[in-house]
Copies of this chain bind each other. A is one copy, B any other.
Amino acid sequence: MVITLTTDFGTSDYFVGSMKGVILSANPDARIVDISHDIPPQDIEAAAFTLLAAYKSFPKGTVHVAVVDPGVGSSRSPILLAANEQYFVGPDNGLFGYICEREENWQAFQITNESYFRQPVSTTFHGRDVFAPVAAALSRGTTPEELGSPITEFVKLESLVPIPFVEGEIKGRIIHIDNFGNCVTNLTEEHLPDSAELEVNDKEITTVKKFFAEDTKKKSKVFMILGSAGFLELAAKNTSAAKILKAKRGDTVTIRTRMKDEG
Protein backbone atom coordinates (compact mmCIF):
# COMPACT_ATOMS: atom_id res chain seq x y z
CA MET A 1 0.00 0.00 0.00
CA VAL A 2 1.16 3.49 -0.84
CA ILE A 3 1.50 6.18 1.83
CA THR A 4 2.35 9.70 0.67
CA LEU A 5 3.84 12.49 2.76
CA THR A 6 3.34 16.22 2.29
CA THR A 7 4.90 18.45 4.95
CA ASP A 8 6.69 21.70 5.68
CA PHE A 9 9.45 19.85 7.52
CA GLY A 10 12.19 20.42 4.98
CA THR A 11 14.72 17.67 4.37
CA SER A 12 17.60 18.80 6.55
CA ASP A 13 16.21 17.47 9.84
CA TYR A 14 15.26 14.11 11.32
CA PHE A 15 11.53 14.79 11.00
CA VAL A 16 10.71 13.05 7.73
CA GLY A 17 13.01 10.12 8.42
CA SER A 18 11.39 9.60 11.80
CA MET A 19 7.91 9.47 10.27
CA LYS A 20 9.10 6.88 7.78
CA GLY A 21 10.71 4.82 10.51
CA VAL A 22 7.44 4.77 12.45
CA ILE A 23 5.47 3.80 9.34
CA LEU A 24 7.85 0.98 8.42
CA SER A 25 7.88 -0.24 12.03
CA ALA A 26 4.11 -0.72 11.82
CA ASN A 27 3.89 -1.78 8.18
CA PRO A 28 7.15 -3.05 6.65
CA ASP A 29 5.45 -3.37 3.27
CA ALA A 30 4.27 0.23 3.01
CA ARG A 31 5.45 2.09 -0.08
CA ILE A 32 6.24 5.58 1.09
CA VAL A 33 6.23 8.40 -1.47
CA ASP A 34 7.31 11.95 -0.72
CA ILE A 35 5.04 14.43 -2.44
CA SER A 36 6.85 17.41 -0.97
CA HIS A 37 8.55 18.42 2.24
CA ASP A 38 9.35 21.89 0.94
CA ILE A 39 5.94 23.40 1.62
CA PRO A 40 6.70 26.89 2.99
CA PRO A 41 6.57 26.76 6.82
CA GLN A 42 2.99 26.89 8.13
CA ASP A 43 1.57 27.42 4.62
CA ILE A 44 -1.63 25.37 4.66
CA GLU A 45 -2.89 26.61 1.26
CA ALA A 46 0.33 25.53 -0.43
CA ALA A 47 0.07 22.04 1.00
CA ALA A 48 -3.63 21.85 0.13
CA PHE A 49 -2.90 22.80 -3.48
CA THR A 50 -0.03 20.33 -3.77
CA LEU A 51 -2.23 17.49 -2.52
CA LEU A 52 -5.03 18.52 -4.86
CA ALA A 53 -2.70 18.48 -7.85
CA ALA A 54 -1.20 15.08 -6.98
CA TYR A 55 -3.80 12.81 -5.43
CA LYS A 56 -5.46 11.59 -8.63
CA SER A 57 -2.15 10.16 -9.85
CA PHE A 58 -2.13 7.67 -6.98
CA PRO A 59 -3.77 4.26 -6.84
CA LYS A 60 -6.89 3.35 -4.89
CA GLY A 61 -6.22 2.75 -1.25
CA THR A 62 -3.40 5.29 -1.05
CA VAL A 63 -3.10 7.01 2.33
CA HIS A 64 -2.09 10.65 1.99
CA VAL A 65 -0.52 12.16 5.11
CA ALA A 66 -0.25 15.95 5.25
CA VAL A 67 1.45 17.70 8.13
CA VAL A 68 1.57 21.45 8.12
CA ASP A 69 0.60 21.96 11.68
CA PRO A 70 1.15 25.26 13.46
CA GLY A 71 -1.45 24.17 16.04
CA VAL A 72 0.33 20.93 16.98
CA GLY A 73 -0.32 20.00 20.59
CA SER A 74 -3.27 22.39 20.94
CA SER A 75 -6.91 21.38 20.89
CA ARG A 76 -7.09 21.15 17.08
CA SER A 77 -8.16 17.63 16.13
CA PRO A 78 -6.41 15.03 14.06
CA ILE A 79 -8.76 14.12 11.21
CA LEU A 80 -9.17 11.54 8.54
CA LEU A 81 -10.97 11.98 5.26
CA ALA A 82 -12.10 9.16 3.01
CA ALA A 83 -12.59 10.30 -0.59
CA ASN A 84 -11.81 9.03 -4.10
CA GLU A 85 -11.21 5.57 -2.56
CA GLN A 86 -8.21 7.05 -0.79
CA TYR A 87 -7.51 8.31 2.73
CA PHE A 88 -6.25 11.70 3.83
CA VAL A 89 -4.77 12.06 7.32
CA GLY A 90 -3.64 15.22 9.09
CA PRO A 91 -4.54 18.05 11.42
CA ASP A 92 -7.92 19.74 11.08
CA ASN A 93 -6.81 23.08 9.70
CA GLY A 94 -7.95 23.12 6.09
CA LEU A 95 -5.31 20.89 4.50
CA PHE A 96 -8.00 18.79 2.81
CA GLY A 97 -10.31 21.65 1.94
CA TYR A 98 -9.63 21.55 -1.77
CA ILE A 99 -10.06 17.77 -1.91
CA CYS A 100 -13.52 18.08 -0.33
CA GLU A 101 -14.49 20.76 -2.77
CA ARG A 102 -13.45 18.55 -5.68
CA GLU A 103 -14.83 15.24 -4.45
CA GLU A 104 -18.57 15.02 -3.98
CA ASN A 105 -18.52 11.96 -1.82
CA TRP A 106 -16.37 12.13 1.22
CA GLN A 107 -16.57 11.03 4.79
CA ALA A 108 -14.69 12.75 7.58
CA PHE A 109 -13.63 11.35 10.94
CA GLN A 110 -12.05 12.77 14.03
CA ILE A 111 -9.18 10.49 15.04
CA THR A 112 -9.60 9.67 18.70
CA ASN A 113 -8.35 6.15 19.28
CA GLU A 114 -5.05 6.77 21.02
CA SER A 115 -4.17 3.10 21.08
CA TYR A 116 -2.97 3.58 17.52
CA PHE A 117 -0.64 6.44 18.48
CA ARG A 118 3.07 6.15 19.19
CA GLN A 119 3.51 6.51 22.93
CA PRO A 120 4.37 8.80 24.58
CA VAL A 121 2.79 11.33 22.23
CA SER A 122 4.98 14.42 22.07
CA THR A 123 3.32 17.83 22.06
CA THR A 124 5.37 19.08 19.13
CA PHE A 125 5.61 16.25 16.60
CA HIS A 126 2.28 14.61 15.81
CA GLY A 127 3.61 13.75 12.35
CA ARG A 128 5.69 11.05 14.01
CA ASP A 129 3.48 10.18 16.96
CA VAL A 130 -0.07 10.45 15.58
CA PHE A 131 -0.30 10.76 11.81
CA ALA A 132 2.43 8.30 10.77
CA PRO A 133 1.15 5.40 12.91
CA VAL A 134 -2.47 6.12 11.97
CA ALA A 135 -1.51 6.07 8.28
CA ALA A 136 0.35 2.79 8.76
CA ALA A 137 -2.72 1.32 10.45
CA LEU A 138 -4.96 2.41 7.58
CA SER A 139 -2.51 0.93 5.08
CA ARG A 140 -2.83 -2.39 6.91
CA GLY A 141 -6.60 -2.40 6.79
CA THR A 142 -7.68 -0.67 9.97
CA THR A 143 -10.98 1.09 9.23
CA PRO A 144 -11.74 4.76 9.86
CA GLU A 145 -14.44 3.64 12.29
CA GLU A 146 -11.83 1.88 14.41
CA LEU A 147 -9.75 5.04 14.52
CA GLY A 148 -12.41 7.57 15.46
CA SER A 149 -15.88 8.98 14.98
CA PRO A 150 -17.59 10.52 11.96
CA ILE A 151 -17.77 14.31 11.87
CA THR A 152 -19.50 16.66 9.48
CA GLU A 153 -17.80 19.90 10.39
CA PHE A 154 -14.16 20.58 9.81
CA VAL A 155 -11.98 23.44 8.69
CA LYS A 156 -12.35 24.42 5.04
CA LEU A 157 -10.40 26.83 2.85
CA GLU A 158 -11.49 29.69 0.65
CA SER A 159 -13.17 28.13 -2.38
CA LEU A 160 -11.21 27.51 -5.56
CA VAL A 161 -14.29 28.32 -7.66
CA PRO A 162 -13.74 31.70 -9.30
CA ILE A 163 -16.17 34.56 -8.82
CA PRO A 164 -18.90 34.07 -11.49
CA PHE A 165 -19.22 35.86 -14.79
CA VAL A 166 -19.92 39.59 -14.63
CA GLU A 167 -20.48 41.03 -18.08
CA GLY A 168 -18.18 38.53 -19.78
CA GLU A 169 -15.58 38.85 -17.08
CA ILE A 170 -14.37 36.45 -14.38
CA LYS A 171 -12.17 37.23 -11.45
CA GLY A 172 -9.88 34.51 -10.24
CA ARG A 173 -6.64 34.43 -8.28
CA ILE A 174 -3.19 32.94 -8.34
CA ILE A 175 -3.30 29.86 -6.13
CA HIS A 176 0.24 28.57 -6.59
CA ILE A 177 3.60 29.52 -8.08
CA ASP A 178 5.62 26.50 -9.07
CA ASN A 179 9.33 25.75 -9.16
CA PHE A 180 9.65 27.12 -12.71
CA GLY A 181 7.84 30.34 -11.84
CA ASN A 182 4.61 29.37 -13.58
CA CYS A 183 1.61 31.01 -11.91
CA VAL A 184 -1.28 28.60 -11.42
CA THR A 185 -4.68 30.30 -11.25
CA ASN A 186 -8.01 28.93 -10.08
CA LEU A 187 -9.41 29.37 -13.59
CA THR A 188 -10.00 26.29 -15.71
CA GLU A 189 -10.63 25.43 -19.33
CA GLU A 190 -14.30 26.37 -19.04
CA HIS A 191 -13.39 29.94 -18.08
CA LEU A 192 -11.22 30.45 -21.13
CA PRO A 193 -13.06 32.22 -23.97
CA ASP A 194 -11.99 31.62 -27.55
CA SER A 195 -10.31 34.97 -27.61
CA ALA A 196 -9.11 35.70 -24.11
CA GLU A 197 -7.52 38.66 -22.44
CA LEU A 198 -6.15 38.27 -18.95
CA GLU A 199 -5.16 41.05 -16.62
CA VAL A 200 -2.88 40.59 -13.63
CA ASN A 201 -1.01 43.28 -11.72
CA ASP A 202 -1.88 45.85 -14.40
CA LYS A 203 -0.35 43.72 -17.11
CA GLU A 204 -2.32 42.25 -19.97
CA ILE A 205 -1.80 38.81 -21.43
CA THR A 206 -3.46 37.83 -24.69
CA THR A 207 -1.48 34.85 -25.94
CA VAL A 208 -2.73 31.34 -25.27
CA LYS A 209 -0.32 28.50 -25.97
CA LYS A 210 -0.91 24.78 -26.14
CA PHE A 211 2.61 23.86 -25.04
CA PHE A 212 5.55 25.80 -23.62
CA ALA A 213 7.73 25.77 -26.73
CA GLU A 214 4.95 26.68 -29.15
CA ASP A 215 5.89 29.45 -31.56
CA THR A 216 3.45 32.30 -31.85
CA LYS A 217 3.53 35.52 -33.75
CA LYS A 218 3.02 37.57 -30.64
CA LYS A 219 6.07 38.81 -28.87
CA SER A 220 4.73 38.92 -25.34
CA LYS A 221 6.87 36.82 -23.07
CA VAL A 222 4.12 35.71 -20.75
CA PHE A 223 1.34 33.51 -22.06
CA MET A 224 -1.63 31.50 -20.81
CA ILE A 225 -1.51 27.73 -20.90
CA LEU A 226 -3.71 24.96 -19.53
CA GLY A 227 -1.48 23.30 -16.98
CA SER A 228 -1.12 19.74 -15.81
CA ALA A 229 -3.10 20.29 -12.60
CA GLY A 230 -6.16 21.27 -14.65
CA PHE A 231 -5.85 25.01 -14.12
CA LEU A 232 -5.01 27.93 -16.36
CA GLU A 233 -1.40 28.95 -15.78
CA LEU A 234 0.61 32.03 -16.67
CA ALA A 235 3.97 30.94 -18.01
CA ALA A 236 7.00 32.21 -19.88
CA LYS A 237 9.34 30.18 -22.05
CA ASN A 238 12.44 29.07 -20.13
CA THR A 239 12.03 31.82 -17.54
CA SER A 240 9.89 32.70 -14.55
CA ALA A 241 6.53 34.29 -15.34
CA ALA A 242 6.14 35.10 -11.65
CA LYS A 243 9.24 37.30 -11.75
CA ILE A 244 8.15 39.08 -14.91
CA LEU A 245 4.67 39.70 -13.51
CA LYS A 246 5.88 40.36 -9.96
CA ALA A 247 3.12 37.94 -9.05
CA LYS A 248 2.53 36.25 -5.76
CA ARG A 249 -0.08 33.83 -4.52
CA GLY A 250 -3.41 35.52 -3.93
CA ASP A 251 -3.01 38.11 -6.68
CA THR A 252 -6.23 38.72 -8.59
CA VAL A 253 -6.46 37.72 -12.24
CA THR A 254 -9.28 38.98 -14.44
CA ILE A 255 -10.13 37.16 -17.63
CA ARG A 256 -12.45 38.55 -20.29
CA THR A 257 -13.37 37.94 -23.90
CA ARG A 258 -11.04 39.96 -26.05
CA MET A 259 -12.87 42.56 -28.16
CA LYS A 260 -10.34 43.53 -30.78
CA ASP A 261 -7.31 41.72 -32.12
CA GLU A 262 -4.33 43.23 -30.41
CA GLY A 263 -1.89 40.61 -31.72
Contact of A211 among B6, B36, B50, B74 (CB under 8 A): B74
A34 contacts which chain B residues (CB < 8 A)?
Answer: 11, 16-17
Cα-based distance from A204 to B72 in the complex (angstroms): 25
Q: Is the CB of B211 within 8 A of A72?
A: yes
A1-25: CB near B (< 8 Å → 1, else 0) gives: 0101010011111111111111011
A71 to nearest B CB, angstroms? 5
Partner-binding segment picked from A119-127, A161-169, A195-203, A254-262: A119-127
A153 to nearest B CB, angstroms? 20
Contact of A12 among B12, B179, B212 (CB under 8 A): B179
Q: Decide yes or no whether A250 CB sits under 8 A from chain B.
A: no
Describe A's contact surface by its main secondary structure: loop
A224 to nearest B CB, angstroms? 12
A229 contacts which chain B residues (CB < 8 A)?
Answer: 14
A125 to nearest B CB, angstroms? 3
Cα-based distance from A21 to B50 in the complex (angstroms): 13
Chain A interface, number of residues (Cβ within 8 angstroms): 66
Partner-binding segment picked from A55-63, A100-108, A138-146: A55-63
A55 contacts which chain B residues (CB < 8 A)?
Answer: 21
Q: Decide yes or no whether A194 CB sits under 8 A from chain B.
A: no
A140 to nearest B CB, angstroms? 14
Q: Is the CB of B41 within 8 A of A17?
A: no
Binding site for B on A (CB under 8 A): 2, 4, 6, 9-22, 24-25, 28, 31-39, 41-42, 50-51, 53-55, 57-59, 62, 70-74, 122-125, 128-129, 178-180, 210-214, 225-229, 237-238
